[in-house]
Chain A
Amino acid sequence: MSITPVDIPVIPALKRTAILNLLSRSQRIDGRSPSDTRNIEISLGVIPNANGSAHVKLGLTQVIAGIKAEIGSPFQDTPNMGNLIVNAEFVPLASPTFEPGPPDERAIELARIIDRSLRDVRAIDLEKLVIIPGRKVWNIFIDIYVIDHDGNLVDASSIATLAALLSAKIPRASVNQDKGEVILDPANRDEIPVRKRVLTVTVAKIEDHLVVDPSLEEETVADALLTIAFSEDGLITGIQKSGMGTFKREHLKKAMELAKNAYKSYISQISQFLVRS
């Protein structure tokens, strides 16, 4: 069952008023303009045991994405495709509102938003991840670990996912024709076939104001959030409205313009990490 949240951090009424007063002058409480994204810091390869990893700081939000590649069986209806599995954990050290236990609806929603943003546009060429057609394929696990929550977990996760995917290396697999066994060659490692650079952009609606890359304070007073995923060729590859409020069409128009610009801002901020070594 999904329940109206009862554990939302208390934002004093004064702070809400301050946020709204500033927004009426196109200013934000942390000094940004409505169209500004926060500073991004990325460290790659922070998890030596993972095939690829990225630690992303988006303002004070911190997320680690780890990629693990394992050999598995394909699904019956996709014998010639590898598998992509996205999971997110909101571990309790990241926020007073996160609790131990299996992923709650927020973590499941986040993982599914990231998954959908990549899947239909075929951001990863799963057909290149087949080792023995119909029998052995690579399973690519993307595990998103939120370690400090200061708002906009979706975009931080999306950035971490893309950076981790582009830097990941998987051992080259070949097949011993006599025995039909898979042989892994750890000395020769291949990249994960990423076809498109997909990133999400989240816009928060606070009354009639729209702001990109909301901080936790802004999310707490926001009526609703809109996440739009873009690929580098300008296609929209996913959308999700979340939160208890509504959007008018005018809001969507404004949100779309803000999101398109923020996509460019994200890409230019992280461009040095998107070049493959």
Chain B
Amino acid sequence: MAIEVRIPTILRSYTGGAKVVDGSGDTLADLLTDLDSRHSGLRGRLITETGTLHRFVNVYVNDEDVRFLGALDAKLSDGDSVTILPAVAGGAFGFAAAAAISSHSAAAAAISSHSAAAAVSSRGTAVAAR
């Protein structure tokens, strides 16, 4: 079964420059595993070392943010369209949490494998504000 996956600019180095690739899987986790078999390294940019979806990447199934669909357990069906976007975030905030974040390779930290407590707490704020 084919699921269309839209790849953001910053991750197209894993897809040979392709903006859209096809994959398969019953859940988002399965899909990412399937994609990684052909686009090695892609999964590692989206999932943390503890096996959760990275906080600073947004993944959508059709028109829904997967955070509201069970995250990596989000169910997929043939014909679904999955969109990956690096979250656009930042700001002057510069206490310990920022240091914790930036002590990791700044290169791709936006969607690299490490999250941070402050980032998570800010997510809470964002959700609450909806």
Are both chains from one complex? no
